[in-house]
């Protein structure tokens, strides 16, 4: 993580479960001045120790679940702006400033639309599921999105006002549905999507993981 004497007013929340291998590269790419909170979501490896050695604040969240980890990180942040991205190295933190720049007072959240670097980056079953969910968001909630906001930047107070959302993989979809209900103004921008740097994805890495996530998605109303 790069050093800077200037604070940007941005905290990057990274929910992690067993991501010790990916964290060094990810943390070293965090933009200067951004604070980092790694939420250790019941890891069984050295995720917490690696995060601390990389300069991040570590917050434990013993209840397994992506949504639980994200909400814990947002509550622990104390900056006006919160960014969230995965801890697997599939998204580049150096693209965050371009999203932050578009978060004006009139824009509630800026979300990333993943653009894979090659066909192998995004398995067909995961991409298909994402296409179906995004189409539902556009049709039913009139949201101008084509992805489920895997990387996002938002005003912290507005996020907290939505309250706790889905505790597991359905969180990104629940967030977008809640944002639509609250009349939020969203902006979507392309981001680079590359293979995770270590390990296997808990969602797209297997058909079973994708189906489990899909079940969470479709439970959101």
CATH number of the domain enclosing 129: 3.90.550.10
- Token pair for residue 120? 């192998």
Is residue 4 in some structural domain?
no
pLDDT for the residue numbered 123: 78
Give the Cα-Cα-Cα angle 126, 129, 133 (nearest 5 degrees).
Answer: 140
pLDDT for the residue numbered 128: 83
The pLDDT tens digits for 1-43 are 654 445 789 999 999 999 999 999 999 999 999 999 999 999 9
**Residues near 102 by beta carbon (within 8 Å), at least 6 away in sequence:** 110, 187, 189
Is residue 85 in some structural domain?
yes
Is residue 91 in some structural domain?
yes
What is the count of structural domains for the chain? 1
Where do we find the tokens 């980092």?
A: 36
Is residue 26 in some structural domain?
yes
pLDDT for the residue numbered 135: 92
Is residue 167 in some structural domain?
yes
103: which DSSP letter?
A: -
pLDDT for the residue numbered 124: 78
Q: Please check the confidence at residue 178 and state whether its pLDDT lies above 90.
A: yes
Is residue 117 in some structural domain?
yes
Mean pLDDT score across all residues of the chain: 89
Is residue 2 in some structural domain?
no
Q: Domain range for residue 137? A: 10-218
Partners of 91 in the β-ladder: 193
Q: Please check the confidence at residue 126 and state whether its pLDDT lies above 90.
A: no
Q: How does 73-94 read in b/e, with b if 16+ C-beta sit within 10 Å?
A: bbbbbeeebbbbbbbbbbbbbe
What average pLDDT does the segment 38-61 reach? 97
Q: Please check the confidence at residue 217 and state whether its pLDDT lies above 60.
A: no
Is residue 5 in some structural domain?
no
Beta sheet of 152-155, edge-to-edge order: 57-60, 35-40, 10-16, 81-84, 152-155, 109-116, 186-193
Q: How confident is the model at residue 207 (pLDDT cuts 50, 70, 90)?
A: low
């Amino acid at each position: 993580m790069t050093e800077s004497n200037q604070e940007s007013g941005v905290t990057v929340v990274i929910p992690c479960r067993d991501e010790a291998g990916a964290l060094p590269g990810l943390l070293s790419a965090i933009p200067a001045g951004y604070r980092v909170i790694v939420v250790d979501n019941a890891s069984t490896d050295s995720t917490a120790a690696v995060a601390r050695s990389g300069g991040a604040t570590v917050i434990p969240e013993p209840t397994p679940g992506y949504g639980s980890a994200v909400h814990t990180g947002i509550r622990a942040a104390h900056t006006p702006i919160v960014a969230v991205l995965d801890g697997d190295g599939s998204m580049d933190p150096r693209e965050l400033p371009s999203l932050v720049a578009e978060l004006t007072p009139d824009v509630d959240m800026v979300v990333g639309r993943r653009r894979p670097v090659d066909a192998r980056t995004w398995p067909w079953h995961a991409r298909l599921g994402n296409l179906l969910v995004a189409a539902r968001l556009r049709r039913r909630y009139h949201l101008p999105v084509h992805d489920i906001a895997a990387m996002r930047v938002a005003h912290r107070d507005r996020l907290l006002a939505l309250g706790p959302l889905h505790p597991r993989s359905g969180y990104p979809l629940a967030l977008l549905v809640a944002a639509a209900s609250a009349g939020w103004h969203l902006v979507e921008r392309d981001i680079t999507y590359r293979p995770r740097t270590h390990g296997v994805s808990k969602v797209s890495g297997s058909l079973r993981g994708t189906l489990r996530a899909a079940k969470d998605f479709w439970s959101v109303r």
